[in-house]
Amino acid sequence: MDGDHALAEGALAAGCRFFAGYPITPSTETAERFAERAPEVGALFIQMEDELASIAALIGAAWAGQKCMTVTCGPGFSLMTENLGLAAMTETPLVIANVQRGGPSTGLPTLTAQQDMMQAKYGPHGDNAIIALCPDSPQECFDLTVEAFNLSEYYRVPVIILTDETVGHMHEKVVIPPADKIKVVPRNNYSGPKEDCRPYKFDSKGGHPMVRAGDGYNFHITGLVHNEMGYPVMTADQGKIVVTHLMEKINSNADDIIRLEEDQVEGADIVVVSYGITSRIAVKAIQDARKEGIKVGSLRLITIWPFCEKRINELSGKVKAFVVPEINYGQMVREVERCAHGRSEVISVNHCGGAVHDPEVILDAIRKANK
Amino acid sequence: MSTQEIRFSGFGGQGIIRCALITGKALSLYDDKFATMTQSFGPEARGSACAAQLVVSDSRILYPYITHPGILMALSQEAYDKYYSELPDGGVLIVENDLVKLQSEHTNLKLYRVPATRFAEELGNRLFTNLVALGFLTAVTKVVTDDAMKKALPGLVPDRFLKINIKAFEKGYNHGLEAINAAGAAS
């Protein structure tokens, strides 16, 4: 199956039973698959009037007790960013897959890109800590969607799957394990005494229960700075408490969240840092470079946000250079630069979108870095 | 075989993408291989150039695109004109006999012609052209087993047309076996 279909299957396997979306190439196949499968598993699929409404419906469904998901790409994701901020502020678990296509604006609807990496984190206004994952294959579209739901449930945070048109439309074998072999974090609903019910706890940790609408508890949800009951408290002091919690529940747990795939990084002179489809293109360049005797390793970012600050910092100074190919004008390369602290050279191999890199271009950058 | 690269090409509506899907499914689910399929994906719907690429390997495929196709199936003139020069010496070129006018004898290639559209029409509908061509490709390249291909069909062709699609596949397959025998006798 293709990556788009695998996203839908991953969602279903993770227990997602609510999908609201608006069709947009190249993500529509996910919605189609979910819509087709929904009646079989008792799930609800709604085609909304637009993307703003789609994510708003998700927020509502999440507080009504459902695990929920939507898919889109750049133009739709832009529309979702306002309510993405609301979801982050209200600590609402939900999963959005962005099957990236060439931008800006409507750009290149049918062609691939990785241009929304920064938007995923910095799109909404205000300080915003989310989790973003980047699959490199249809299999990972399945696996990482399950993981996205698990992270989303545990940390009560929107999780974004940043895939792309190539992976979305690429067909490969996808192994879906039996349900009892798939680790699923169930929705944790509060069930204690009414007087102790708090929809929020600001302690920089995950694992807090949701309160389900209709279960008889009184609580409030707002985008304003709020207290643990959810009621607005518009003071700088409370703002500090809430924002610190939102940021630190992700940042201070980054080691538990971040997943990387490394190949021959130890002892390497050059490390290629890549993600998604580009990491599979880079493989060819890396193999060719090794044939030329260059000691080159591969660091693949499976987790994009939070960024693997610590690992890049550890490697900086030990490696001559980081080579960062990505299908954008240079986005994650800024993060690599920041974390390398000037101790290793950082080389951007950018691309304006619409296609994957020519591996030869990455190979040239590796050669140049090795000089 | 370590890695084999196949390009399926023709015009939109011939079932080119479907060919790659069926072959990829057959290989990865029933022949115990790894296969990665990518396709030209554009707003063009029908009648224009269309291609799908399939990488086949014994081990996990990292680089997902074809770089040195060893097999080209061209079911239209445009597809043939565009892609035949990619083939290396000894490469397999399969063309639709009635739709493709060859630019040379291609003595450096293993050239096979299949009247896929005509065979499909004999079976009642030219929609089966792709399955005739696939059967032919299966016989002459042996990159995938005929058994796996037939197993891969359910779900990828409409249930009510499954039998006739299998028939189309077998017609192409048998013609392919004859073509190999003829080539063997000639050399």
CATH number for B97: 3.40.920.10
Does the pLDDT value for residue A69 go beyond 90? yes
Residue B39 has pLDDT above 90, yes or no: no
Percent of chain B's residues with pLDDT above 70: 95
Average pLDDT over residues B135-154: 97
Show Cβ contacts of residue B23 under 8 Å, excluding neighbours closer than 6 positions.
Answer: B6, B8, B35, B54, B134, B137, B143, B144, B149, B152
Region A311-318: what's the mean pLDDT? 97
Residues of chain A with CATH 3.40.50.970: 3-181
> How many Å lie between the alpha carbon of B72 and the closest alpha carbon of chain A?
19
- Whether B29 contacts chain A with CB within 8 A: yes
Q: What is the pLDDT of residue B183?
A: 82
For A356, nearest residue in chain B (alpha carbons): B65
Do B88 and B66 contact (CB within 8 A), yes or no?
no
Inter-CA distances, B180 with A245, B107, B175, Å: 71, 16, 9
Residue B43 Cα, gap to closest chain A Cα (Å): 7
CA distance A120 to chain B (A): 25
Give SS3 for A315. helix
- How much is the pLDDT for A228? 96
Phi, psi (degrees; rounded to nearest 5) at A23: -65, 140
- A8 inside 8 A of chain B by CB: no
Question: A242, A126 in Cβ contact below 8 A?
Answer: no
pLDDT band at A237 (very low <50, low <70, confident <90, very high): very high
pLDDT-derived band at B49 (thresholds 50, 70, 90) equals: confident
Average pLDDT over residues A16-26: 97
Q: Tokens 């003071």 belong to which residue?
A: A235
Give yes or no for residue B45 having a pLDDT over 70.
no
Interface contact A166, partner B, CB < 8 A:
yes
What pLDDT, on a 0 to 100 scale, did the predictor assign at position A320?
97
Does B67 or A12 have the greater pLDDT score?
A12
Decide if pLDDT at B1 tops 60: no
Crossing angle of the two packed helices A51-63 and A74-89, in degrees rounded to 10 = 30
A281 touching B (Cβ < 8 Å): yes
B47 touches chain A (CB under 8 A): no
Residue of A337 and B13 predicted with greater confidence: A337
Instruction: Say if A171 is an interface residue toward chain B (CB within 8 Å).
Output: yes
> In chain A, how many H helices and how many E strands?
13, 13
Answer with the residue of higher pLDDT: B183 or A47.
A47
Q: Calculate mean pLDDT across residues A268-280.
A: 98
Whether A359 contacts chain B with CB within 8 A: yes
Selecting from B20, B28, B42 the residue whose C-beta is nearest the C-beta of A173 gives: B28
CA-CA distance, A19 to A68, in Å (whole number)?
A: 6
Question: Is residue A303 pLDDT above 70, yes or no?
Answer: yes
| Confidence bin at B2 (pLDDT 50/70/90) | confident
Residues on chain A touching B59 (C-beta within 8 angstroms): none
- Tell me the shortest Cα–Cα distance from A172 to chain B, in angstroms: 5
Rounded average pLDDT over A217-246: 97
Residue B88 per-residue DSSP state: P
Contact between residue B69 and residue B44 where contact means Cβ atoms under 8 Å apart: no
Q: Strand B71-74 and strand B34-39: pairing? A: unpaired
* Local confidence band at B47 (pLDDT 50, 70, 90 cut-offs): low
Query: Closest approach of chain A CAs to the CA of B149, in angstroms?
Result: 15
Question: Residue A22 — very low, low, confident or very high, per pLDDT cuts 50/70/90?
Answer: very high
Q: Would the pLDDT of B48 be above 90?
A: no
Nearest residue of B to residue A359 by CA position?
B63
pLDDT at A106 > cutoff 60: yes
Q: What is the mean predicted confidence (pLDDT) over B60-64?
A: 91
pLDDT value for B12? 84
Q: Please report the pLDDT score of residue A109 as a whole number.
A: 92
- Cβ contacts below 8 Å, chain A against chain B, sum to 44
Gap between the Cα atoms of B59 and B115, Å rounded: 35
CATH number (3.90.1150.10, 3.30.70.2740, 3.30.450.40, 3.40.50.920) of A261-370 reads: 3.40.50.920
Q: Which of A111, A172, A283 sits opposite B35 (nearest CB)?
A: A172
Contact assessment for residue A327 and residue A301, using Cβ atoms and an 8 Å cutoff: no
The mean of the pLDDT values for chain B is 92
Mean pLDDT for the stretch of residues A38-62: 98
Nearest to A171 among B21, B43, B65 (CB): B21
Q: Which amino acid is at A12?
A: L
The answer to whether the beta carbons of residues B3 and B56 sit under 8 Å apart is yes
pLDDT of residue A232: 98
Among chain B residues, CA nearest to A26: B41
Q: Judge whether A1 is closer than 8 Å to chain B, CB to CB.
A: no
What's the pLDDT score for residue B185? 74
Closest residue in B to A110 (Cα) is: B42
B176: domain range? 3-186
Q: What is the pLDDT of residue B13?
A: 85
Residues A266-275 have a mean pLDDT of: 97
The distance of B28 to chain A (nearest Cα, Å) reads 6
pLDDT at B46: 55
pLDDT at residue A33 greater than cutoff 70: yes
CA–CA gap between residue B134 and residue B20 (Å, rounded): 9
SS3 (DSSP) at B5 = strand
Three-class SS state of B78:
helix
What would the two tokens of residue A65 be? Answer: 């007790």
Look at residue B17 and tell me whether its pLDDT is greater than 70: yes
- Establish if A110 touches chain B: CB-CB under 8 angstroms: yes
Superfamily holding A3-181: Thiamin diphosphate (ThDP)-binding fold, Pyr/PP domains (3.40.50.970)
Q: For an interface test with B, which of A33, A173, A272, A363 has the most B Cβ atoms less than 10 Å from its Cβ?
A: A173
Question: Which pLDDT score, from 0 to 100, does residue B50 have?
Answer: 86
Average pLDDT over residues B28-48: 81
